Amino acid sequence: MTVIEWLLSGDPALTRLVKKHLLEEDAPYEKTGLIEKYIALYNPETRMWGGGLYTPKWTSTHYTMCELKYLGTDPNTEAYREGLTHLLEKLWTNKGRIGKRHKDICVVAMLLSLATYAKSENPKLIEMTDYILGHQFEDGGFNCEWDHPEKRPHKSSLHTTISVLEAFKDYRDNGYTHRLDDVESATRRAENFILDKRFYFNSAGEIIHHDFTEAHYPTRWKYDYLRALEYFAAVKKPRDDRMEEALNRLTRAMDKGYLTKGRTYSGKIHFRLEKGMKGRFNTYRALKVLKFYCPAFYKQVIRQQI
First to last CA, the chain: 6
Does residue 90 lie within any of the structural domains?
A: no
The pLDDT tens digits for 15-54 are 999 999 999 999 999 999 999 999 999 999 999 999 999 9
**Is 244 part of a structural domain of the chain?**
yes
Domain total of the chain? 1
The answer to whether residue 185 is domain-embedded is no
Residue 233 within any structural domain of the chain? yes
In a domain, 143, yes or no: no
Instruction: Confirm if 219 and 227 have CB atoms less than 8 A apart.
Output: yes
Which pLDDT belongs to residue 148? 76
Per-residue pLDDT at 51: 97
H/E run at residue 29: none
Report the pLDDT value the prediction gives residue 146, as an integer from 0 to 100: 86
Q: Does a structural domain hold residue 46? A: no
Confidence label for 147 from pLDDT (cuts 50, 70 and 90): confident
The 3-state secondary structure of 112-133 reads HHHHHHCCCCCCHHHHHHHHHH
Name the region of 94 (left: φ>0; alpha: ψ -120 to 50; beta: rest): left
Dihedral sign from CA coordinates of 90, 93, 96, 99: negative
Over the stretch 165-222, which tens digit does the pLDDT of each residue have?
Answer: 999 999 999 999 999 999 999 999 999 999 999 999 999 999 999 999 999 999 999 9
Rounded-to-integer distance, Cα 163 and Cα 222, Å:
8
Q: What is the 3-state secondary structure (H, E, C) of 176-244?
A: CCCCHHHHHHHHHHHHHHHHHCCCCECCCCCECCHHHHCCCCCCCCCCCHHHHHHHHHHCCCCCCHHHH
pLDDT at 145: 85
Q: Which of 27-31, 40-44, 149-153, 293-297 has the lowest mean pLDDT?
A: 149-153
Contact (Cβ atoms closer than 8 angstroms) between residue 144 and residue 105: yes
Give the span between the Cα atoms of 163 and 181, in whole angstroms. 19
Residue 250 falls inside a structural domain:
yes
Residue 204 lies in a domain: yes
- Global model pTM greater than 0.85: yes
* Mean pLDDT, residues 55-60: 98
3-state secondary structure of 66: helix
* Contact by Cβ (8 Å): 130, 179: yes
**Model pLDDT for residues 223-259, shown as the tens digit of each residue:** 999 999 999 999 999 999 999 999 999 999 999 999 9
Domain that holds residue 227: 197-291
